[in-house]
């Protein structure tokens, strides 16, 4: 009778799978179709706050990583509208017609911002550089900040005296994973030793202090913040130029792939750039970039 | 001259037919299950995007050489740390099982070491060694993150291995020790020629288990910036927001573990053969 019980077992497994296929795997509703506009006044395709299919009706959910680093955020609290990215997020929300109280912050690790599957945010603001590969995985808004990469080293180190890219060839360099800073090291400096790659800038700073790396590459505002407040024995050695022909590097807001909000958010960012709001926020929160020589 | 009876031939034929039938049913049900699974997965609404995100041939091609470069670091760490942990673990176990009141401080120290490093989370041990030791600014202490990371791995894993060895030593029956002593062997000789050979032979499988575990934990030294196979995958993934490099790295690790598992099986089988020399009862 063994084979009969095996057949029964197989049949039951199969029917369970079939049931799973029929019910449990029904397509998820996509964000775009989740909640249609409730008020008939707003015409579809408009960017009015009540017409937008946001995660929570009438609220704008914004994601960022924790800890939220200065000068992008202040006191590790994105909701105080202090710091460049916090201010930009509230400016975008205002452009879309959301009041300050309608902005909800969500903790989203850098790596989770682009994980496939349903997103927990309407848009994510986390110093994410725009590139074509990334556009295949998520939607990215227009750029809200033009990035320049810089290199910082301990004042008494050999790397601090570098005046050209060639002077950095022999140094042990470091950068954070997933940043364009790492691309600058690999594609522009092309050092002799393999660069160190860190999960967080905190670890890169610790290694710099310990002398485990000679210099680290970070974006300009971060560099000024680190040398001004966190590792005062380090200095900004110089900044890098975008290679001729390459696209200018910009940070963009991350949205779910094919999100219904992308065009509206991009329009809001473009409008903020046009009317000078972005420039004003930059002036308020980010150090002046003068004084860092360009390394060639 | 033995001739199977008609009834026996009949019985065997019936048994064979039942076996054939069972095999056929198993094959059919497996094929059906796989088909349903395949249809469920590939028919799911998110499948095209999942395929694009996890199984992209172009990104896999880019990732493989970098992942293999990183794997070289994993293998170096595995060989060096593996050898050092085995030796250190055995020494710790012997220290813990020494007899005699004069050895009390040694026993206590070994016990304290094992308790501490077995309980300390590996990631904290790594952070403390990699970023803490260079901060002391001592002359002559290495600051190379790979050396420091390897040291942290040795600290933790030698404590694990010490416990495995100790279990082996204590599992050797006291009569073995008594017999050896009555033959005139000293305590040290008894340990060396009678107890340890049996103890080590008994704990080979759990030791190899720990080695496989160590092999996977070697990647954690990447916390200091060194690039191993998994980290190489992460660097690519976070640049392109595509997860295929992780899949490549995962498969490479699985492929690496298979020969190790076969080796374990072979060692175990050989030991069993040796122990049951003269045939099993």
Q: DSSP readout, B18-81?
A: HHHHHHHHHHHHHHHHHHHHHHHHHHSTTHHHHHHHH--HHHHHHHHHHHHHHHHHHHHHHHHH
CB spacing of B145 vs A207 below 8 angstroms: yes
Residue ranges matching CATH 3.40.190.10 in chain A? 53-146+248-291, 149-239
CB-based contacts of A137, cutoff 8 Å, min separation 6: A114, A116, A257, B53, B240, B241, B242
Torsion region of A145: left, alpha or beta (phi above 0 gives left; psi -120 to 50 gives alpha): beta
CB B177 within 8 Å of CB B154: no
Pick from A138, A178, A210: which is nearest to B143 by CB? A210
Strands A250-255 and A139-146 come out as antiparallel
A49-65 exposure pattern, b = at least 16 Cβ within 10 A, e = fewer: bebbbbbeeebbbbbbb
C-alpha R_g of chain A: 24
B34 interfaces chain A, CB cutoff of 8 Å: no
B118: nearest Cα among B170, B162, B80, B171: B162
pTM score above 0.85: no
pLDDT tens figures, B245-254: 999 999 998 8
Q: CA nearest A13 in B: which residue?
A: B33
Q: DSSP readout, B156-199?
A: HHHHHHHHHHHHHHHHS-HHHHHHHHHTT--HHHIIIIIIHHHH
C-alpha angle A26-A28-A33 in degrees, rounded to nearest 5: 130
Instruction: Show contacts of B140-145: CB within 8 Å, 24+ apart.
Output: B143/A210, B143/A211, B143/A212, B144/A212, B145/A196, B145/A207, B145/A212, B145/B221, B145/B224, B145/B225, B145/B226
Residues A53-146+248-291, CATH architecture: 3-Layer(aba) Sandwich (3.40)
CB B150 within 8 Å of CB B77: yes
Write out chain A residues lying below 8 Å of B235, CB-based: 177-178, 182, 197
The percentage of chain B sitting over the pLDDT mark of 70, rounded to a whole number, equals: 98
Q: What is the pLDDT at residue A2?
A: 52
A66: nearest Cα among A107, A12, A9, A21: A107
d(CA B207, CA A283): 61
- Per CATH, which fold does A149-239 belong to? D-Maltodextrin-Binding Protein; domain 2 (3.40.190)
Pick from B22, B40, B226: which is nearest to A2 by CB? B22
CB A110 within 8 Å of CB A178: yes
CA A291 to chain centre: 27
Q: CA nearest A139 in B: which residue?
A: B241
A227: nearest Cα among A132, A136, A134, A291: A291
* Greatest C-alpha distance within chain A: 87
Residue labelled with tokens 């490093």: B117
> Which structure tokens are listed for B281?
């009862």
- Taken in order of first residue, the domains within chain B and their CATH numbers are 77-226 (1.10.3720.10)
| Lowest-pLDDT range of A57-61, A165-169, A238-242 | A238-242
CB spacing of B235 vs A204 below 8 angstroms: no
Backbone angles phi, psi at B92, to 5 degrees: -60, -45
Could you give the C-alpha distances from A66 to A62, A79, A109, A224, B10, in angstroms and in order?
Answer: 13, 13, 7, 20, 75
Confidence category of residue A284, pLDDT binned at 50, 70, 90? confident
First-to-final CA distance of chain A: 81
> Which structure tokens are listed for A189?
């400096």
Write out chain B residues lying below 8 Å of A13, CB-based: 29, 33
Task: Say yes or no to pLDDT of B10 above 60.
Answer: yes
Pick from A11, A207, A257: which is nearest to B225 by CB? A207
Q: What is the pLDDT at residue A263?
A: 92
Any idea how long chain A is?
A: 296
CB spacing of A174 vs B45 below 8 angstroms: no
Backbone angles phi, psi at A273, to 5 degrees: -70, -45
> Which structure tokens are listed for B213?
């575990």
Residue labelled with tokens 């926020």: A281
Q: What is the pLDDT at residue B107?
A: 95
pLDDT tens figures, B197-245: 999 988 988 998 898 899 889 989 888 888 999 999 999 988 888 999 9
Write out chain A residues lying below 8 Å of B40, CB-based: 17, 20-21, 25
pLDDT tens figures, B66-98: 999 999 999 999 999 999 999 999 999 999 988
> Which structure tokens are listed for B96?
């813990």
Smallest CA–CA distance, residue A269 to chain B, in Å, is: 23
B142 C-beta neighbours (distance < 10 Å), count: 11
B114: nearest Cα among B170, B157, B73: B157
The percentage of chain A sitting over the pLDDT mark of 70, rounded to a whole number, equals: 81
CB spacing of A199 vs B223 below 8 angstroms: yes
Find the mean pLDDT for residues A92-118: 89
A145-156 exposure pattern, b = at least 16 Cβ within 10 A, e = fewer: bebbbbbbbbee
Write out chain B residues lying below 8 Å of A133, CB-based: 239-242
B28 C-beta neighbours (distance < 10 Å), count: 12
Pick from A27, A116, A206: which is nearest to B49 by CB? A116
Pick from A111, A198, A210: which is nearest to B238 by CB? A111
Q: What is the pLDDT at residue A38?
A: 40
User: Would you give the DSSP letter of residue B101?
Assistant: G
B37 interfaces chain A, CB cutoff of 8 Å: yes
A37: nearest Cα among A53, A61, A54: A53
Task: Say yes or no to pLDDT of A294 above 70.
Answer: yes
Pick from B26, B36, B240: which is nearest to A17 by CB? B36
Smallest CA–CA distance, residue B162 to chain A, in Å, is: 32
Q: What is the pLDDT at residue A39?
A: 38
Confidence category of residue A46, pLDDT binned at 50, 70, 90? confident
| Mutation for A interface: B23, B53, B124, B225, most A CBs within 10 A | B225
Smallest CA–CA distance, residue B73 to chain A, in Å, is: 12
The percentage of chain B sitting over the pLDDT mark of 90, rounded to a whole number, equals: 63
B143 interfaces chain A, CB cutoff of 8 Å: yes
d(CA A215, CA A151): 7
Backbone angles phi, psi at B104, to 5 degrees: -55, -45
């Amino acid at each position: 009778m063994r084979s009969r019980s095996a057949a029964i077992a197989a049949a039951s497994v199969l029917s369970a799978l079939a049931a799973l296929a029929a019910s449990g795997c029904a397509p998820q509703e996509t964000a775009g179709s989740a909640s249609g506009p409730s008020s008939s006044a707003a015409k579809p395709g408009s960017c009015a706050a009540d017409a937008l299919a946001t995660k929570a009706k009438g609220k704008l959910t914004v994601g960022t990583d924790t800890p939220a680093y200065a000068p992008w955020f202040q006191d590790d609290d994105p909701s105080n509208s202090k710091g460049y990215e916090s201010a930009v997020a509230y400016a975008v929300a205002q452009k879309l017609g959301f009041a300050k109280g309608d902005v909800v912050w969500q903790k989203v690790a850098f790596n989770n911002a682009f994980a496939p599957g349903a997103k927990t945010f309407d848009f994510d603001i986390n110093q994410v550089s725009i590139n074509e590969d990334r556009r295949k995985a998520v939607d990215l808004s227009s750029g809200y900040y033009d990035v320049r990469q810089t290199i910082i080293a301990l004042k008494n180190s050999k790397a601090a005296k570098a005046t050209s890219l060639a002077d950095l060839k022999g140094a042990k360099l470091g950068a954070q994973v997933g940043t364009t800073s790492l691309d600058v090291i690999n594609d522009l400096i092309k050092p002799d030793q393999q660069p160190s790659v860190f999960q967080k800038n905190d670890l890169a700073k610790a290694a710099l202090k310990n002398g485990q790396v000679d210099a680290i590459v970070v974006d300009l505002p971060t560099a000024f913040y680190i040398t001004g407040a966190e590792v005062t024995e380090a200095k900004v050695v110089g900044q890098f130029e975008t290679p001729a022909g390459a696209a200018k590097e910009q940070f963009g807001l991350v949205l779910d792939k094919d999100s219904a909000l992308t065009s509206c958010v991009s329009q809001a960012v473009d409008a903020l750039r046009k009317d000078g709001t972005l420039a004003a926020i930059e002036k308020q929160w980010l150090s002046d970039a003068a004084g860092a020589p360009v390394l060639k | 001259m033995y001739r199977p009876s008609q009834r026996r031939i009949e019985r065997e034929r019936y048994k064979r037919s039942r076996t054939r039938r069972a095999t056929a049913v198993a094959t059919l049900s497996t094929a059906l299950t796989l088909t349903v699974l395949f249809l469920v997965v590939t028919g799911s609404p998110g499948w095209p995007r999942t395929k694009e995100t996890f199984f992209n041939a172009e990104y896999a091609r880019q990732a493989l050489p970098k992942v293999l470069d990183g794997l070289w670091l994993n293998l170096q760490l595995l060989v060096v740390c593996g050898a050092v942990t085995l030796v250190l673990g055995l020494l710790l176990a012997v220290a813990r099982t020494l007899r005699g009141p004069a050895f009390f401080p040694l026993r206590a120290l070994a016990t304290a070491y094992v308790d501490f490093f077995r309980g300390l989370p590996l990631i904290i041990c790594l952070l403390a060694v990699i970023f803490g030791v260079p901060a002391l600014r001592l002359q002559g202490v290495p600051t190379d993150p790979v050396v420091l990371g390897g040291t942290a791995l040795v600290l933790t894993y030698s404590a694990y291995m010490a416990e495995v060895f100790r279990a082996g030593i204590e599992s050797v029956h006291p009569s073995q020790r008594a017999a050896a002593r009555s033959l005139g062997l000293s305590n040290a000789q008894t340990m060396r020629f009678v107890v340890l050979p049996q103890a080590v032979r008994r704990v080979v499988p759990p030791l190899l288990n720990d080695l496989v575990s160590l092999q996977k934990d070697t990647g954690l030294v990447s916390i200091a910036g060194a690039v191993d196979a998994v980290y190489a995958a992460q660097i690519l993934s976070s640049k392109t927001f595509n997860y295929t490099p992780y899949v490549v790295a995962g498969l490479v690790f699985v492929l690496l573990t298979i020969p190790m598992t076969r080796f374990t099986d072979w060692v175990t089988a050989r030991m069993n053969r040796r122990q049951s020399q003269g045939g099993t009862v």
